[in-house]
Amino acid sequence: MLGVIINPKSGKRAYRRQRMYLWNLLRDRNIPYEYRVTRYAAHAIELARELVEDYRCDEILVIGGDGTLSETLNGLMRANIAPERRQHLKLGLMPRGTGNDWGRYWGLTKNYKDSIERFLNGTGHPLDVGCVTYWRNHIEHHRYFINSVGFGVDPLCCKLAEKLKAYIGSHHVNYLFGLLAAIWAQKPIPMDLLVDGRLLVSKPLFTMNIGNGPYSGGGIRQNPEADPQDGIFHAMFVCKPTLKQIIKALPNLFNGRLTDLPFIHAFTGKDIRLDTPEYLLFEGDGILNQIMGPCEVHCIHHALQFKV
């Protein structure tokens, strides 16, 4: 059974036309399906659980942006199903959002007819999933991500980019303007950074991005070697940069050479721990979360599949 989750607020101008095209195509090909429409933030988490738990859907197509895809992923990872069944679930995407960072890696564009055909005729690719573990009142919480998770400048950039939508609409340049503003506003965070049990750095952290996929922020290549199937994260961090270093970094945001700069530190690992006593804002696939440190980031190898 195919399950479809739709975010009507993402790319809403073409929503009706795209939805009717998909319904007609599924009817003509005699493909049974259940569909749900998101009504509020994090609703896709509930809908994804319902589709796999109650309706036994084994394929989920998301019609929306990276945020809706991430919420759907969290629903699939939290669903009360056997791990063996979860590994065979197939997740797909018809991009309709602003950044489209996950779709960009797989060659999915806003050509909705092409995206739908690639999903219906595609095969499942085993997919790694990231998990952020943190604690509130001594209770363990988990947030899953499919593409990347960021600390420092990254979440502040997402927060500012969201505010810009009210003034200039939903455009990927929002992330660039948000990034420029975030660089000036971000304060270094005292941090011990441990990778696979080894202390990597113990000094204030300005920004860090942990990549399962290579793109973030509307096409920025912070971790150009990241591969969502290799079982490890590719990550980068920066301690407090100088103005000269910031100016050097800006031309390399999109060309894959950002980590060539000597003040940007790249590393790989499966388990990453951030030890800090301070308040932390982090973004997972562009969705903001507020926690108090510490937190751990773990790579779950081949947790489910992506169909394309």
Task: Write the pLDDT tens digit of every residue in 39-66.
Answer: 999 999 999 999 999 999 999 999 999 9
- Residue 72 makes CB contacts below 8 A (sequence gap 6+) with 5, 44, 45, 47, 48, 60, 62, 91
Average pLDDT over residues 7-22: 82
pLDDT score of 171 more than 60: no
| CA atoms of 140 and 242, how far apart (whole Å) | 37
The Cα 89–Cα 26 span in angstroms is: 19
What local confidence, expressed as pLDDT, does residue 146 receive? 98
The whole-number pLDDT of residue 9 equals 81
For residue 167, pLDDT beyond 80: no
How many secondary structure helices (H) and strands (E) does the chain include?
A: 9, 16
Residue 167 vs residue 245, higher pLDDT = 245
Maximum distance among all Cα pairs of the chain, rounded to whole angstroms = 60
Q: In sequence order, which residues have a C-beta less than 8 Å from that of residue 226 and are 6 or more positions away?
A: 148, 211, 212, 213, 214, 233, 234
pLDDT for the residue numbered 179: 81
Q: What is the chain's alpha carbon radius of gyration, rounded to the nearest angstrom?
A: 19
69 close to 146: Cβ distance less than 8 angstroms: yes
Is residue 14 pLDDT above 70, yes or no?
A: yes
Burial class of residue 226, CB neighbours in 10 A (0-12, 13-18, 19+): buried
Supply 217's token pair. 């922020």
Lowest mean pLDDT among 19-23, 177-181, 280-284: 177-181
Cis peptide before 294 (omega within 30 of 0): yes
Per-residue pLDDT, averaged over 80-95, amounts to 97
pLDDT at 28: 97
The mean pLDDT value of the chain amounts to 93
| pLDDT tens for each residue of 180-237 | 888 888 899 999 999 999 999 999 999 999 999 999 988 899 999 999 999 999 999 9
Mean pLDDT of 170-174: 64
pLDDT at 136: 87
Q: What is the pLDDT of residue 166?
A: 61
C-alpha angle with apex 40: 70 to 102, nearest 5 degrees?
20
Q: Hey, what are 173's tokens?
A: 């340049």
Query: What is the mean predicted confidence (pLDDT) over 71-92?
Result: 97
- pLDDT > 70 in the chain, percent: 96
> What is the tens place of the pLDDT at every residue in 109-129?
989 999 999 999 999 999 999
Which domains are present in the chain? 2-122 (3.40.50.10330), 130-302 (2.60.200.40)
